[in-house]
Structure 1
């Protein structure tokens, strides 16, 4: 078999000209606030080309403030809006170590922390901290109380008992900073009360062993005692 060396040389030069792509895995973490607090300090360590995403939920119109400090001038951060994996609404390399934003949408945001390429490729270790606060709350008609109730919204959601599909009535109390209580109305039984906070579900009512999973872009499956299933979408939690 003859080898076309000219063709091989051209391919080699073309590959050499392509930009290097980082294959490091993104490390995902959640931002947690102490009860009753709207600020926190994120601390971490970057090693080489690591990228760390800190996720948090917030509402449209809230004010986000971030301020980063690092032991060497090599770390930066971006802010990504809900649903984005790459497009940022704040780019630290261009705009500096301090960020003040009015958030444009309800949903889950990400603070993406990384090293500058010049130090990342050397495997440099960088300690950093980010002062973070979220203040204010959106006041829209979607967050008004349903007349005669304590709920911000009511309606029906999908449910199931084992493999038998059904529906269930709900009422939701939105408490700000992405926290919500979802009250499920059950026939001839006490309400189920599920609490969503910091990206996690818990059960406020008794006699409920809960598991949950995100099963779509905007829907959660919450399972109580193994066979009692409820499907709660993000619009119930955040409004809109």
Structure 2
């Protein structure tokens, strides 16, 4: 009889363990679209959070524009991240308690300002109220029309190529390997967004203005060097991209 009961108990305990794990997972972020009033370049938002609640404030912006975020919470453990278009979790900025952020944007699309309580405090069921201001300023760097620079069929890119890169900085082998890259040209002067496919890590967007990298959607500051007709962009983690002029300009 015991031999029959024990497996049932094991199964039951395993089910309870799985249920507890599922319950422990934080809920997905709520999403709220931010719309600016006519003639305005910013919006003031008041909100509240409790425990592990998270809210994504979604704002449409374009390459070349500047986003500004200011957070004033009642609970000092309230923080925010800025996520680039297409990213579910990887942030281009993590506030770590800072009250404001200002950054130039490398790509077109929906950016998310994610507001949350830091995990240790959220687990205690703490609450916060906050005033959040999100602004987007500056003229967008619009893509060249397909009539001026033909698109790769079925894409929004003007060209694609394979470039040497280190996509995974945690790989012990730092030898550059081929990465697929595309470009959205925004002028004839070397102004463009270069999109580099990083495999499971998503896409890295780097904005070039007049041939020089000026912004990216990485959370780290980039370093830039020139080698012949190639721009080499590296990040402190070890991520590295070798971008030929011909991809950026089409020349």
**Structure 2-normalised TM-score?**
0.48
- In structure 2, the residue matched to 1:139 is 141
Structure 1 residue ranges without an equivalent (≥5): 148-240
Q: Using the TM superposition, give the Cα deviation of residue 114 of structure 1 relative to its aligned residue in structure 2, in angstroms.
A: 0.5
- Asked if 1:74 is matched to 2:77, the reply is yes
Structure 2 residue ranges without an equivalent (≥5): 149-251
**Of residues 42, 50, 57 in structure 2, which corresponds to 1:54?**
57
**Of residues 125, 128, 138 in structure 1, which corresponds to 2:127?**
125
Q: In the aligned structure 1, how far is the partner of 2:39 from the partner of 2:85? A: 24
Relative to structure 1, the CA distance from residue 47 to residue 82 in structure 2 (aligned partners, 3 Å threshold; closer, same or farther) is same
Q: Using the TM superposition, give the Cα deviation of residue 130 of structure 1 relative to its aligned residue in structure 2, in angstroms.
A: 1.5
RMSD of Structure 2 on Structure 1 (CA): 3.5
Matching of residues 23-34 of structure 1 within 5 Å: 23-34=26-37
- Checking the alignment, whether the CA contact within 8 Å between 2:75 and 2:127 is kept in structure 1 is no
Q: Using the TM superposition, give the Cα deviation of residue 121 of structure 1 relative to its aligned residue in structure 2, in angstroms.
A: 1.3
Which structure's residues are more often strand, by fraction? 1
Q: Per-residue CA shift, 1:67-126, capped at 9, x if unaligned?
A: 111112021010111111001000112x72211110110001111110012221122220
Q: Secondary structure at the match of 1:139?
A: coil
- In structure 2, the residue matched to 1:37 is 40
Q: In the aligned structure 1, how far is the partner of 2:109 from the partner of 2:61? A: 6
| Farther-moved stretch of structure 1 (95-104 vs 119-128) | 95-104
Q: Secondary structure at the match of 2:26?
A: coil
Q: Secondary structure at the match of 1:118?
A: helix
Q: What is the total number of aligned residue pairs between the two structures?
A: 145
Q: In the aligned structure 2, how far is the partner of 1:75 from the partner of 1:142? A: 41
Q: In the aligned structure 1, how far is the partner of 2:26 from the partner of 2:95? A: 21
**Of residues 79, 99, 105 in structure 2, which corresponds to 1:103?**
105
Q: Secondary structure at the match of 1:119?
A: helix
Q: In the aligned structure 2, how far is the partner of 1:66 from the partner of 1:143? A: 31
**Structure 1-normalised TM-score?**
0.50
- Checking the alignment, whether the CA contact within 8 Å between 1:22 and 1:49 is kept in structure 2 is no
Q: Using the TM superposition, give the Cα deviation of residue 2 of structure 1 relative to its aligned residue in structure 2, in angstroms.
A: 8.3
